[in-house]
Structure 1
Amino acid sequence: MNEEINFILDSTKESMNGTIDHLEKAFIKIRAGKASPVMLSSVMVDYYGSATPLSQVANVNTPDARTISVQPWEKNMLQEIEKAIMNSNLGFNPMNNGDFVIINVPPLTEERRRDLAKQAKGEADDAKIGIRNARQEANKEIRALDDASEDLKKNAEADVQDLTNLYTKKIDALLVTKEAEIMKV
């Protein structure tokens, strides 16, 4: 019987770890003032008639904290890459120098910082919902065990609640760190 409960707890922990991983990836995509190749990860380029991720048709670098350079593997892709970046609604104004597409990342305004902090808080709230859903699913599985005693079920539900509290604190800590990073001028 303990094996079934341990399996439920392990799968719940795995699900909650997945939620934390997803949150960390979402936070990476939220811009915090300095240039990063990840900022262009959603850009799709028309590569001979098919939509292709920018990273598959060009080399994306950050030579400094305020600049992103995109070097296409084929020179004739420069205009397509430039057009794709403009159409991606990221708020960037790419410049083409014949070899590279160069993007100057403007410093964030106070209003934009607040918007990004709200976006980070929304991602954290979504992660907390994911954690609570994992808890709910685990409790449902524990209650469905027929041959477990009531005490064993109550102890297992308490363990699930402890996991929930632990992962909620992790989310809060990640959010505090990200908000500080965003609001730092």
Structure 2
Amino acid sequence: MALIATYALPGVGEAQTLESLKGGSLMRTFDLAPLYRATVGFDQIADLMDRALTDTSNATSYPPYNIEKTGEDGWRISIAVAGFSDADLNVELRENALIVTADKAKDDEERTYLHRGIATRAFERRFALADHVRVTGASHVDGMLHIDLVREVPESLKPRRIEIAKGETFDTKAVAAQELN
């Protein structure tokens, strides 16, 4: 399956195009120009959509991974990294992006392989994280790299209920006295 993505910052009437060719020709056009014109303050969402449409680094499925929900505000990313040691792996958090990289595992020069089916090539896998999601830990067990995440929204950003008072909400006599002075 060949995947071709073309991108330019859309203006009025311009579009982003994603073509997928498999046997015949299938073309899908996403016109995001109205979205850019009608939104203010949603730059992160627009950037995420741009990266999703243009990023080819995640086009490969290597290494395979799972994302599982571990609680109301918790997740675990499990990446199959057979053949890599702890020293080969690097987990980094940069600007709401979790980046997992691995250098190619050192081959044992004394080994002769008749069949080599376990891939140990270098890779970089990126995961976009929402605001207030932080990494709580990472472990490497039995060829699986597990990265635990949790969302911790600050109290000041959580919804709160405002009680409705009966009558006036401020002292009208004090306001009137200040206006006279």
What range is the shorter-chain TM-score in? under 0.3
Whose strand proportion is higher, 1 or 2?
2
Structure showing the higher helix proportion among its residues: 1
User: 1 or 2 for the larger relative contact order (CA 8 Å, sep ≥6)?
Assistant: 1
Structure with greater Cα Rg: 2
- Length-normalised TM-score, structure 2: 0.21
